[in-house]
Amino acid sequence: MTRRKHEPLSASKQLAPSKSDVLPSRIYSTAFGIAVHPKRDGEQRGSMHDTSDGNTSVKKTVYTIVKAGLLIPGDGEPVKDSALVIENKLIAWVGPERDVPSKYTHAAHRIYSIPFVMPGLWDVHTHFGGEPVDTDEGDHNTLILQHPAIAGARLTKGCWEAIQRGYTSLRDVAGYGCEIARAIDDGSIVGPNVYSSGACLSQTGGHGDLFDIPAGDVHLSAGVSSTQPGHWGSVQSVLVDGVDECRRAVRLQIRRGAKCIKLFASGGVLSLDDNPLYAQFSPEELEVIVQEAARQQRVVAAHVHGKPGILAAIKAGVTTLEHASFADEECIRLIKEKKIVYVATRTIVDLLLQAGGKGLSKYQWEKAQLCGSHHLKAYKMAIEAGVPIALGTDTGPGFNMAMELDYAVQAGMTPLEAIKAATANGPLSVGAMAPKTGQLKVGYEADILGLLYNPVEDVKVLQEKQNIGWVWKGGRLFKGPGVGPWGEDPL
C-alpha cells in the first residue's frame, strides 16, 4: 500500500489560537427555575433593558484547504493531486491542487496535505440501545427495559468512538437515537450525525415483543393505546395492532424526533418465539405505516428475513429492506425495479455464526443458522443484479463498523463499490431527511476523512483507527494531530 508523507498544518495568514470559554453560555438553576447567561470575556456589561448597539466585531471566514494525494469522491473515480476547500460547514470548491482559486489562498486559511481523502462513512443500520458490552446483562429484555439514563451514558462513549473511526453519519433503527442526536447537535457530547427511527414498530407477538414478560406489562410500557403520564415513547420497540395504532405509532415517533420509521415485517433471530420465515403485520397495517410516514417525508425501513415478508414490504412501498436473508430472484428483481435500498447487515450475521450459539437459546441459534445459510447467497444476487446497496452492521455506535466494507468486497463488490455503498448511498436510507452529504462535491456538507493508506487498494485499512488521521464533520475538525477529544474550536 502506498503512503504519502503528510505535511504539517500551516496557514498563509497567521491565526491566533482560539480561546475556549471558561464558562458555558447558559447555566440552568434548578433552585430558581431560570436560565442564567453568565458574562464572558470581551462581552459588554449592561442592564437587562439595554438595547443599545455595543462594540461588535465581524467574524471573518477562515477557509480550510485540504490537499489530497488521491481524492476519492464517494461516487466516481479517484483523482490524483486534488484539493477541496471548506467554507463553514460546506465544501466550497473541488479541483486540481494547482488550481485552488486565489480568493481562498489569499484569505485567512488553514492548509492540510493528506495522502488520501474520502467522504465520511455512513452506517445505516445501527441500534442506539446503550447495552453493556462487557457483561452478560444485554439480553433482549434488558435492552428494551433498562433505564434510558444509563443507556444514554453508555452511548456517549460509542458516539465519540464512531467519530474516531471515521463514521460521520449513523442511522439508528430502534434505539435512543432521537435523544442522543439532540445532545450531539447542541454540543453536549461529540458524535456523528444521527438519523433515528425512534422505537421500531412491532405487532403483538412480533420480533419486538418480549415473550417472557406478561403481555399486559409489555403493552403498558411499550404500547400506544394508553400512553402513560411521563412516558415519552422512549423504549426501543412499540407494539401496535390494527391500522389506527400503526398510524398513531408513526406520529408518536415523529413527535419524538424520528427522521425515518422502522418496522418488523417478519420474525427475527434474537426474539424468543417468533419465526423469521413468517410475515408480520397485515397488508393494511404495512400500507398505513408507509403512507403516514410519507405524509411527513419520512421513509420506512423494514426488517425482514422470509420471502413472504419481503414481498409484503415491497408491495407496501418501503424504502429500505434490512437483512432480506431469503430474497430470491423474484425478490431481487422487484427490489431493483422499485429502486429499494438493500441493507444486508452482513457483519451481525457472520458474527452470530462465528459465535457458535454462545449466549443464545437453542431456538435462537437454530434461527441464526437458518438465516445465515441463505443470507450470503441473497446478498451476492443483489450485488450482481446492481440493486442500490447501503451498508449497515446491525451493531451499536462505536463498534468496528468498517468491517461491513470488507464483507461487501467478499460478497462481490469492488473496493470502490463498497466505498460508494458506505458513503454516497448512505443518504438514500433517510430520503428527504438527509442533507447533501456522502460525496466530495461543491455544496455538500464537509464530512471528510483524511487517511494514511489507500482504501481503494484495501478497504480493511478503514478498520484501524490509526489509519484515519483526520475527521471533519460539518466542516469542523474532530480528529487530527493536536486536536483534543472535543474537536477543534469552531473557527
Catalytically active residues, by annotation: 262, 394
Say which residue the cell 453568565 belongs to. 38
Cα 478 to Cα 173: distance, rounded to the nearest angstrom: 25
For 290, other C-beta atoms within 10 Å of its C-beta total 23
Cα 62 to Cα 334: distance, rounded to the nearest angstrom: 49
Cα 364 to Cα 273: distance, rounded to the nearest angstrom: 8
- DSSP string covering 318-354, please? -SEEEE-TT--HHHHHHHHHTTPEEE--HHHHHHHHH
Burial 353-388 (b: 16+ CB within 10 A, else e): beeeeeebeeebbebbebbbebbbebbebbbeeebb
Alpha-carbon separation of residue 62 from 315, 473, 476, 478 (angstroms): 50, 16, 12, 17
Nearest Cα to Cα of residue 12 among 91, 76, 106, 150: 106
Q: Say if residues 131 and 396 touch (Cβ distance below 8 Å).
A: yes
Nearest Cα to Cα of residue 446 among 420, 417, 425, 477: 477
Nearest Cα to Cα of residue 458 among 489, 428, 415: 415
